[in-house]
Structure 1
Amino acid sequence: MFPRFSEGKVDVSTFVGIDVSKEHLDWAVHGSSAGGRLAHDEEGLQALVDQLRELSPTLVVLEATGGLEMPVLAVLSVAAVPVAVVNPLQIRNFARATGRQAKTDRLDAKCIAHFAAAVQPPLTPMPEATTLELELLLARRRQLITMLVAEKNRLSGLVGPRRVARVVSSINRIIETLEKELKKLDDELKDKIEKSPLWRAKDELLRSVPGVGPGTSRTLLFDLPELGTLNRKQIAALVGLAPFNHDSGKIKGRRAIWGGRASVRSMLYMASVACMRFNPVIRAFYDRLKTAGKPTKVALTACMHKLLTILNAMVKANRPWQVAAA
């Protein structure tokens, strides 16, 4: 807790960090011994709200943990507790910068609380019910795709004496089940988007770009809500498509991209490949880079960056795809 002096008055600010896991909620207060561990269930969430209400914190910070943080965000928002959800990479970088090497849930909570006090990130608004449901459905879709890819990789690895009929049939049944579940989930996502005028308008706007299909549009809608609110450099850095220098002294290293939101970057890669066939602007840009001698990977990454820039500008201006403007 930091005392702040203003016109003779002392304002004590309280910053709380919460480490969210599947089983537990570890929380700590910066500059204080207050905190503890609670079960990540209904009783634990209510106990967390009660304890935080007594503290009247200035800010509570959580890490984004693949959806596990959403129930915590929901109950704290309803209880009018100021809360911010931040990228875990920010916390890890902050921990390294402050020399924290040890790692336990309790220490993670203290580090998050320290981050809250030092950085004071903006509050995270609680998504509307429709948005929250769509986000959870999309998270489940990504899980299904991950499992489907894993099973297909296992099947392709069964060659020669390893290709036992019993194992092959087992993997094929799992693949068929996952594909059916994925199709069912896609239909549900489509139905919910069409029933929401706001989401339907955004979806139609993004899909007006040749090469951008429903999968890309939905990923951008749910995993990149900042699209259209940032400038082109900020949105590229957020996704992880802004190249960073690797220079030291007289050594000039190769620029590379890293970090950011992997799910968005993966989907933009697939969309850029589709744009090679259907989008004349991206195709011409790619051909120009290849003619200039750029490696295929570099040219394709540049196309991903350009596609993201175009989509960001379209959403910001609320205008559909136009070749001349692009």
Structure 2
Amino acid sequence: MCKFIGIDISKQTFDVSFLEDEKWQHQVLENKPLGFKKISKILNSEDWVVMEASGSYYLPLAEYLTEKGFKVSVVNPLVIKRFSQTNLYRAKTDKKDAKTIAEYAEKYELKKWNPESENAKKLRQLYTRIEMLRKQVHQNKRQLEAFSASGFLDKILKNEINSSVRFLENKIKKLENEMNRISLEEYSETMENLQSIPGVGKQTAMMMCLITNNFEKFEHYKQLIAFVGFSPRIYQSGKSVKGKGHICKMGKSQIRKLLYLCSWSAKRWNKTCKEMYQRLKEKGKPERVIKIAIANKLIKQIFAIGKSKEKYQPNFC
């Protein structure tokens, strides 16, 4: 009989919970190879192992079990949180969380998790590192501006800050070059197709390939829009409560920034985006709303191109 094993994982340990012979079983194992071997002994080939995407702590266990041929599903922590709230659970312990995950697994359809390629992992880590370095560059420049605005700035300090900025910018350039090399090795054909879309540049194409696992992760473009965080959120109740609508920002802020930039290029050179801009402008829509609408249109085009493995055509989408 198929068991649903819920796992609440942390840096050092993971809690295992599953229902067997109408009794809940619970174990605490080390988040190390020895703990991985112990859990594999209680699993059958038809069982499902379900865990949350808790930072990077889940990856070694998920990869180990997948390599051993077990079915693994990795769920967004927010989904489990909402499930717990729906069931009015008040306790918040590792043991209870593992049981909640197992209960969720029994009631909902699960999607099998597949590990990323080594190049995809490298790209993700490189991009995260570049983002941190860019923040450091921004902080240094802001500090330099603040010192200058005070009316006095020591020359030695000014040279030191400028030197730090140049050093960080050189590091960013080297990491970006490495990202370009790896992305062309991993996604060359898909990136070439995506860049045929007017308004979509190399970095956006690379990031879309990365977050979609080369367009194998999603089955519909609306899933991708929701993942990025461009889905509209409507606030309305009855006839009297009508709040201002806005996008749901529970997605990826990094790719949203890139798509915002792409939208202004697309409104000039992308046929369907240009028509959309003119139509919404005539209706008096704010620029920000138009920008989001164009970004959504771009995602739809990107998804269609990525799935079809064809180049952009003027009347596409």
TM beyond 0.5: yes
Which residue in 1 is equivalent to 2:71?
82
Q: Is residue 191–residue 205 contact of structure 2 (8 Å, CA) maintained in 1?
A: yes
For structure 2, list consecutive stretches of 5 or more residues without a partner in the other structure.
none
**Percent of residue pairs identical:** 27
Out of 187, 205, 210, the position equivalent to 1:217 is 205
2:134: which partner in 1?
148
Residue 178 of structure 1 is aligned with which of 168, 171, 186? Answer: 168
Shift, 1:222, TM fit: 0.8
Matched, 1:308 2:299: yes
1:118 is matched with 107
Supply the RMSD in Å over aligned alpha carbons: 2.8
- Residue 6 of structure 1 is matched in structure 2 by none
Alignment CA distance shift 1:257-1:33 (3 Å) = same
Aligned equivalents of 2:177 and 2:29: distance in 1?
Answer: 40
What is the TM-score of this pair, normalised by structure 2? 0.83
In structure 1, list runs of 5 or more residues that go unmatched: 1-10
The 2-side partners of 1:102 and 1:178 are apart by: 46
CA distance in 1, matches of 2:212, 2:135: 23
Deviations 1:7-61 (A, max 9, x none): xxxx3x322223333x3232221342422141x4xxx133223323224371112
Q: Partner of 1:191 in structure 2? A: 181
Deviations 1:134-166 (A, max 9, x none): 233323312321341254045325413398556
Q: Matched residues in 1 for 2:91 and 2:263: separation?
A: 41
Decide whether aligned partners of structure 1 residues 282 and 74 sit closer, same or farther in structure 2, where only a CA change above 3 A counts.
same
Which whole-Å CA distance do the structure 2 matches of 1:54 and 1:296 have between them?
A: 57
Write the distance in 1 (CA, Å) between the matches of 2:111 and 2:294: 32
1:96 lines up with 2:85 in the alignment: yes
Q: Which residue of 1 aligns with 2:243?
A: 253
What do the CA deviations read for 1:59-115 (whole angstroms, capped 9, x no partner)?
112222344432222111112221111222212222222223444444433332332
- 1:72 partnered with 2:58: no
Whole-angstrom distance in 1 between the partners of 2:96 and 2:254: 29
The 1:145/1:111 distance shift into structure 2, 3 A limit, reads same
Number of the residue aligned with 1:8 = none
- Among 34, 51, 57, the alignment partner of 2:26 is 34
CA distance in 2, matches of 1:107, 1:174: 48
Residue 290 of structure 1 aligns with an amino acid whose one-letter code is K
State the Cα distance separating 1:295 from its structure 2 match: 0.9
